[in-house]
Amino acid sequence: MDVKKDVKTAGRTLSLFEAFCQRKAPMTLTQLAAALDAPISSCHGLVRTLSARGYLYTAEQSRAIYPTKRLFEIAGEIAAHDPVLERAGPILQELRDATGETVLLGRRQDDGVIYLEVIEGSHTVRYSARSGDIKPLHSSAIGKALLGRLDPAALADTLSRLDMARYTPHTIVDRAALEEDLRTGRQRGTFITRGENVADVMAIAITALVNGEVLGVAVAGPLSRMEADEAGHTAHLLAARDALEALGGALPQSTAAAD
């Protein structure tokens, strides 16, 4: 088995669907190859395989290619049975309704944060993100919250290898300054970013231990609006943390797993 080739093919498959998402229109094989920066021959093989599995179709006259709804339907089934979101979803929805701001659920993935759920705020002007987005540990509120739970040795090890890139003029890129910010967050009980990852966006985050797994929850929105009700958002976040940790019990098992 050629592992490198398999990984490259998997990455190219994901890039194909992302290209359609960005273009929001059908593409010819030539256009798709250009979008993927890949040889037409490789794209032809990929399109043929995905078409045979029902994920793509090709218009008879124009030869333009477009995804079917198969991926959407499969993704919907997967999301509907996510063991974490099945239980945490109602609590996160209540948090969004109480604050009116975007609510994010994330966990650590390697040296970053991956969003498991995003419930966008009810305001016209709001912070927007997508499930699956990966954010830096040092400049995101959930990242800081997850760092804040580490013991001194684990924190030192993590910070020693982090690429503390600057995303805005307010990003903390000095390790000593970040450590001080984390100490303040631990004392306060919440971890905050003020325009550190996205300019003019503020986020407040906490962590919750759910079925033995540390998850991060954040409320994010425009800086001025978030600052105006920081105390209220903090209170709602802490209540959500208590509700999440009160879930208790093991994550739901599939029938196959139970057998």
pLDDT in tens, 196-240: 999 999 999 999 998 788 999 999 999 999 999 999 999 999 999
How high is the pLDDT of residue 2?
58
The 10s digit of each residue's pLDDT in 142-201 is: 999 999 999 999 999 999 999 999 999 999 999 999 999 999 999 999 999 999 999 999
Percent of the chain scoring above 90 in pLDDT: 79
CA–CA distance, 121 with 124 (Å, rounded to integer) = 8
More confident site: 4 or 38? 38
Residue 255 has pLDDT above 60, yes or no: no
CA–CA distance, 36 with 31 (Å, rounded to integer) = 9
Lowest mean pLDDT segment, chosen from 109-118, 149-158, 242-251: 242-251
CA–CA distance, 75 with 187 (Å, rounded to integer) = 40
Residue 128 has pLDDT above 60, yes or no: yes
Instruction: Name the band, by pLDDT with cuts 50, 70 and 90, for residue 105.
Output: very high
CATH class of 3-72: mainly alpha
How high is the pLDDT of residue 221?
98
Neighbours of 104 (CB within 10 A): 29
How high is the pLDDT of residue 248?
65
Residue-range domain boundaries for the chain? 3-72, 82-245
| Fold that domain 82-245 belongs to in CATH | Beta-Lactamase (3.30.450)
Indicate the helix (H) or strand (E) that contains 65: strand 65-67
Residue 46 has pLDDT above 90, yes or no: yes
Residue 250 has pLDDT above 50, yes or no: no
- Output helix, strand, coil percentages for the chain, rounded to the nearest 5: 50, 20, 30
Contact 184, 195 (CB under 8 A): no
CA–CA distance, 196 with 88 (Å, rounded to integer) = 27
More confident site: 148 or 83? 148
pTM, two decimals, is: 0.76
Instruction: Name the band, by pLDDT with cuts 50, 70 and 90, for residue 8.
Output: confident
